[in-house]
Amino acid sequence: MVNINTVYDAVLVITNKDNRGYITPEEFNSLAIQSQEAIFASYFLREMTYEMQGSGSNVQSDFSNPTLTIAQKISAFYKEETLTKSDKIFTYPVDFYKLGIVSVNNIGADYSSHGNIKYINKSPLTYPVLTQPVYTLEKTGVRVYPDTITTGVAIDYLSKPIKPKWGYIMPTAAQIASGVPNKPIYDPTQFDPASDSYSDTAKSYNFDLDPSEQTELIIRILTYAGVVIKQGDVTAFAQGKEQELQTTEQ
């Protein structure tokens, strides 16, 4: 994970320099969520690009193999889950992002398009059976054939990254009187996505990405922040750093 307060401090130092403008915690959290989602989504395109280019073919060390590095970052979101059937559909988990393998009682199921499943079900040679199940993709989950299957369906999948949150509390009147600045104070209390509300200002949750993404997160947030505070030089600075970062990754 990447510490949310470290990124927050870096962004504020850069945006506040020469009184360019101030980003509220709520604005920062919104930009942080957007930046994390953009970086996470980029993993899959980068992995495909590296594999097509054969980027790791001449690398002597696994530690500098870009294909392996991206695969490692993606695998951090790998999960397994047994699904529950509801109205013919085995429903995805709430944190579902991308589907991997579908199995029925530890037997791998074959994928079929909606067009082909009609013909597969009609043919006595290809009709799905318990020892050779078939599945189709639905909006909320997978449909498994034969339809008599009600339990034992499991998937390997990638989960969504949990939304980051910079939480804060405001100083009390006594603290302000003693000289504490009247501005948000970082609250390191662990935010629980399962029970806490993002609408509450207190409690924090770190970025759900590999620690190596700290610089990329700062750059992306600054790019968006330049638009929010209407400071083109902030965006230009961030874009320049982004180009530098991309050069070092090639």
Interior/surface letters 144-177, b for 16+ CB within 10 angstroms, e for the rest: bbeeebeebbbbebbbbbbbbbbbbeebeeeeee
| Helical axes 4-16 vs 214-228, angle rounded to 10° | 40
Nearest to 10 by CA among 244, 199, 230, 222: 222
Q: What's the CA gap between 81 and 114, in Å, rounded?
A: 24
- pLDDT confidence of residue 16: 76
- pLDDT confidence of residue 56: 47
Residue tagged 């699904």 (tokens): 83
| Domain range annotation of the chain | 4-75+163-249, 78-159
Structure-derived torsion over alpha carbons of residues 11, 13, 17, 21, reported in degrees to the nearest 10: 50
Which residue type does 206 have?
N
- pLDDT confidence of residue 215: 93
Q: Is 216 exposed, middle or buried (0-12, 13-18, 19+ CB in 10 A)?
A: buried
Nearest to 162 by CA among 216, 205, 210: 205
pTM of the model: 0.80
Q: Are 226 and 235 in contact (CB under 8 A)?
A: yes
Cβ-Cβ contacts under 8 Å for 94 (sequence gap 6 or more): none
Q: What's the token pair of residue 211? A: 């620690």
Strands (E), the chain: 78-82, 85-86, 89-91, 96-104, 107-108, 110-111, 134-137, 141-145, 153-159, 168-169, 185-186
- pLDDT confidence of residue 125: 83
Could you list the pLDDT tens digit for every one of the 250 residues in the chain?
999 999 999 999 888 765 555 789 999 999 999 999 999 999 988 777 766 666 445 555 566 677 888 889 999 999 999 999 999 999 999 999 999 999 999 999 999 999 999 899 988 888 999 999 999 999 999 999 999 999 999 999 999 999 999 999 999 999 999 999 999 999 999 999 999 999 999 999 999 999 999 999 999 998 888 755 555 555 565 556 555 555 555 5
- pLDDT confidence of residue 196: 97
- pLDDT confidence of residue 157: 98
- CA 145 to chain centroid, in Å, comes to 31
Nearest to 40 by CA among 101, 95, 92: 95
Q: Are 204 and 169 in contact (CB under 8 A)?
A: no
Q: Phi then psi for 156, rounded to 5 degrees?
A: -100, 130
Q: What's the CA gap between 50 and 165, in Å, rounded?
A: 32
Q: Is the dihedral of CA 35, 39, 40, 41 positive or negative?
A: positive
